[in-house]
Amino acid sequence: MRAPSTLAHICVDMQNLFAFDTPWHAPWLGRVLPAIEEVAARFADRTIFTRFVPPRVIEAAVGHWKDYYALWPDMVGERLTPDLIDLVPSLRRLVPPAEVLDKPVYSPWWSGDLHRALRARGASSVIITGGETDVCVLATTLGAIDLGYHVYLPLDALFGSADPTHDAMLDIYRSRFQAQLTVTSVGELIDLRQEAGL
């Protein structure tokens, strides 16, 4: 694996909202948290944590997001405690130097803020960790590819909620984006960082 010239880390939605016992609880989050902690700690000054932030009320959602939140009426801001939106504690302690970017949709690219932040850092490649593999990680990965970044996906630092869709997405990542995406592991990324002097 060739070392990139400039590397950043996007950690997707590692929030109490998904770690705790809520309707959106993702059991796999706890399994991959140690691997994500390892990447985020080693790349703390190059890490941007995204947070999925629901609207305060269903009526504030845009378009068909209203239909989505009608399915999850307890998952809007007025019914959630603020700590649920926050990062899990072991990652929150890395801010700063790591940064936080809030988003109201699956993709972190919608506002342009993430792309501007990465350009300001001179990033040409991104590591993407977090969840879920078939939703927010997918949106993050495709947006990064569209904007010209090379993506590193450490499989041991990704989680989903359903084995079939998680496995299907891993197959797609491996087979469809070879020129723009490198499937890797946390150990290989650490070796890469050391080789590149990052």
Q: Using one digit for the tens of pLDDT, what is the confidence trace for 81-101?
A: 999 999 999 999 999 999 999
Backbone φ and ψ of 69, nearest 5°? -75, -20
Domain with 42 in it: 7-19+26-53+87-196
Residue 96 resides in a domain: yes
pLDDT, mean of residues 137-146: 97
Domain contains 145: yes
On the question of pLDDT at 53 being above 60, the answer is yes
Quickly state the pLDDT bin for 3 (edges 50, 70, 90). Answer: very low
Is 77 a domain residue? Answer: no
Residue 78 lies in a domain: no
Question: Percent of the chain, pLDDT > 90?
Answer: 82
pLDDT band at residue 195 under the 50/70/90 scheme: low
CATH number of residue 47's parent domain: 3.40.50.850
Would residue 182 count as lying in a domain?
yes
Q: What is the pLDDT of residue 82?
A: 92
User: Is 58 part of a structural domain of the chain?
Assistant: no
Q: Report pLDDT for 84.
A: 97
pLDDT at 37 exceeding the cut of 60: yes
Say whether pLDDT at 4 is over 60. no
Please compute the mean of the pLDDT values over residues 68-86 and round it to a whole number. Answer: 96
- How many domains does the chain divide into? 1
Q: What is the pLDDT of residue 42?
A: 92
Q: What is the pLDDT of residue 33?
A: 98
Q: Is 163 inside any structural domain?
A: yes
Give the 3-state DSSP-derived string for the chain, with helices as H, strands as E and coil as C: CCCCCCEEEEEECCEHHHHCCCCCCCCHHHHHHHHHHHHHHHCHHHEEEEEECCCCCHHHCCCCHHHHHHHCHHHCHHHCCHHHHCECHHHHCCCCCCEEEEECCCCCCCCCHHHHHHHHCCCCEEEEEEECCCCHHHHHHHHHHHCCCEEEEEHHHEECCCHHHHHHHHHHHHHHCCCCEEEECHHHHHHHHHHHCC
Which region among 46-60, 62-76, 169-183 has the lowest average model confidence (pLDDT)?
Answer: 169-183
Residue 164 in this model has a pLDDT that exceeds 90:
no
